[in-house]
Structure 1
Amino acid sequence: MTEYFEVILRSIASFGLLLIGTRILGKQTISSMTIFDFVASISLGAIAANVAFNTSVKAYHAMLAFVIYVIIIFTMALISLKSRKARKFFAGDPTIVIENGKIMEKNMKKMRYTIDYLNQQLREKDVFNIEEVLFAILETNGTLTVLRKPQFRNVTKQDLVIPITPESKLPIELIMDGEVIKENLEQNNLTESWLQSELNKRSLVQQNVLYAVLSANGNMYIDTYENHIHSPIDKE
Structure 2
Amino acid sequence: MDHIFQYSLRTLLSFVALLLLTRLLGKKQLSQMTFFTYITGIALGNIAGEIVLNKEIKAAAGITAMALWAFLTILIEQLALKSPLVRVLFDGEPAIVIKKGKIQPKAMALSKLNMDDLSMLLRDKNVFSVREVDYGILEPNGKLSVLKKQEEEAPTKRDLKLPIQKRLYLPTELIVDGKIVKRNLKELQLNREWLEDQIKSFGVQSVDEVFFAELQSDGSLYLDKKSDQTSS
Task: Return the TM-score normalized by structure 2.
Answer: 0.91
What whole-Å deviation, never above 9, does each CA across 1:103-128 have from its counterpart, x for those lacking one? 11111222322122112211222222
Deviation at 1:228, TM superposition (A): 6.1
User: What corresponds to 2:200 in structure 1?
Assistant: 200
Instruction: Give, in whole Å, the separation in 1 of the partners of 2:6 and 2:229.
Output: 52
**Corresponding position of 1:93:** 93
Give the CA RMSD over aligned residues: 1.9
Cα deviation for residue 168 of structure 1 reads 4.8
Q: Which residue of 2 aligns with 1:13?
A: 13
Distance 1:183 1:115 in 2: 46
Listed as ranges, the gaps of 5+ residues in structure 1 are: none
**1:15–1:152 Cα change, 3 Å:** same
User: Aligned in 2, Cα 1:220/1:91: closer, same or farther, shift over 3 Å?
Assistant: same
SS in 2 for 1:226: helix
Query: Scaled by the length of structure 1, what TM-score is found?
Result: 0.89
Runs of 5+ in structure 2 lacking a partner?
none
Q: CA deviation at 1:34?
A: 0.9
1:154-169 map, 5 Å: 154-169=154-169
- Provide the aligned length of Structure 1 versus Structure 2: 231
C-alpha distance 105-198 of structure 1, shift in aligned 2 (>3 A): same
Between stretches 116-125 and 143-152, larger displacement belongs to: 116-125
Provide the residue aligned with 2:57 in structure 1. Answer: 57
> Which SS does the other structure have where 1:146 is aligned?
strand
Closer/same/farther in 2, CA of residues 168 and 83 from structure 1, 3 Å limit: farther
Q: Secondary structure of the residue that 1:30 maps to in structure 2?
A: helix
| Other-structure match for 1:44 | 44
Change in Cα spacing, 1:174 to 1:58, as seen in structure 2 (3 Å) is same
Deviation readout 1:139-189 (Å, 9 max, x if unpaired) = 001111111111111222222111121115312332233233334333333
Deviation for aligned residue 1:56: 1.6
- Render the CA deviation track for 1:180-235: whole Å, top value 9, x for unaligned: 333433333323222222223223212222322211111101222222654x3xxx
Aligned residues with identical type, % of pairs: 36
